[in-house]
Amino acid sequence: MVFFNLRRVPPQNATGKVVVFGATTVVGQTLSLLLKLCPHVTELCCCGPLTKVGQGANVGLVRGVAADLSHIDTNTGVRAFEDPCDWELALRGARLVLFCSGSAFDPCRAQLDMALRESGPELMSAMTLVAKVAPKAIIGVVSSPVNALVPLAREVLVRNGVFDPRKLLGVTSLDVIRTRTFVAEELQMNPFDLNVPVVGGRGGVTACPLVSQTTLQIPHERIIHVCNRVQSCGSHSTYGASGVACELKDEKAASVELQPKVALSLAHAVLEWSVSVLKALRGDRGIVECSFVESTMRKETPFFASRVELGEEGVARLLPLGLLTAYERELVETAVPFIAGDVEAGLRFAAGRPEAAL
């Protein structure tokens, strides 16, 4: 009689504990699923929203999410932390902390102020606990507006005396995978074979794809079309024959196809970014991701998204922008004032003056 050993060999490359704030949001749930399947995660802690236990529709949801995830047959342990009073326990020993709270993950610029007001208070509470319990953890800000929430998080960490610019990053990888996909469509290639940096900020006019750095031959008008598509994601936009994005007069006329609900693609993008961070934490070398970080790359703003090389302490070094075409320089110059305004809004919120509009 022949016996077959059908047991899977457990992966040996796990690197640590990951905490997800906002695990019950549309992005947080999918991201938690992907992290549960990720062999680099030893323990996944799902944290609920900043509400009192016994109040609100989300009560019990984080426990349900964690219980459902725990049935998946991987080695990653899952724990739920519904009460904010338990967040301190969740953060103990964390290697990576992901902030995914809020409801608008890809808002148009007119809605950024509302998104900041929604996510800001919870971010401040979470960062205060990170400073106290896990000051050496890498922090990835996923919630919008990233350009404002990263400076806000910095101020909280500075007040608590634990700010390390290497460990605070805004996750801009959604813009990167969108650009990769759109360029691949133009060239009829596999997106996996492309690497297109996106610099500046997260989303909208602040996202500046550097398509020329693929070194592939793409007509200039198609590059403009790709960049417009990337910058218009999340807004009520359509495209004319020239490839230029135009605002729709009637928001109700904007179809679901033109305004996809950002959840699945963002969760995938954050997973890719998280895997890169975890690999770097275990000692892998040469890992590069685009991220929104404290930077001296532009004198107009203390934060800027660019390619960063990751290391065991977070950001190992900032990589230069490289050669830009005239069009790409124009994109960056247009983006910088908006980035500076977003950063200032985050700093004002941290100072207790949230009335400052983005």
CA 296 to CA 305: how far, in whole Å? 11
| Tokens linked to 353 | 């003056």
Q: Is 59 annotated as contributing to ligand binding?
A: no
CA 291 to CA 305: how far, in whole Å? 5
Q: Is 15 annotated as contributing to ligand binding?
A: no
Going by DSSP bridges, is the β-strand pair 138-141/94-99 parallel, antiparallel, or unpaired? parallel
Q: Where are the alpha helices (DSSP H) in the chain?
A: 26-36, 61-70, 87-91, 112-133, 146-159, 173-187, 220-232, 264-281, 326-350
**Which H/E stretch holds residue 219?**
none
Q: Is 238 annotated as contributing to ligand binding?
A: no
As a whole number of Å, the end-to-end CA separation of the chain is: 72
CA 192 to CA 167: how far, in whole Å? 28
CA 343 to CA 312: how far, in whole Å? 27
Q: Where are the alpha helices (DSSP H) in 245-306?
A: 264-281
Residue among 68, 77, 13 at smallest CA distance from 45 = 77
Q: Is 128 annotated as contributing to ligand binding?
A: no
In DSSP terms, which residues pair with 98 in a beta bridge? 20, 140
CA 205 to CA 231: how far, in whole Å? 5
Q: Is 336 annotated as contributing to ligand binding?
A: no
Please enumerate, by residue number, every residue annotated as part of a binding site for NAD(+). Answer: 22-28
Annotated binding residues, written as ranges, equal: 22-28
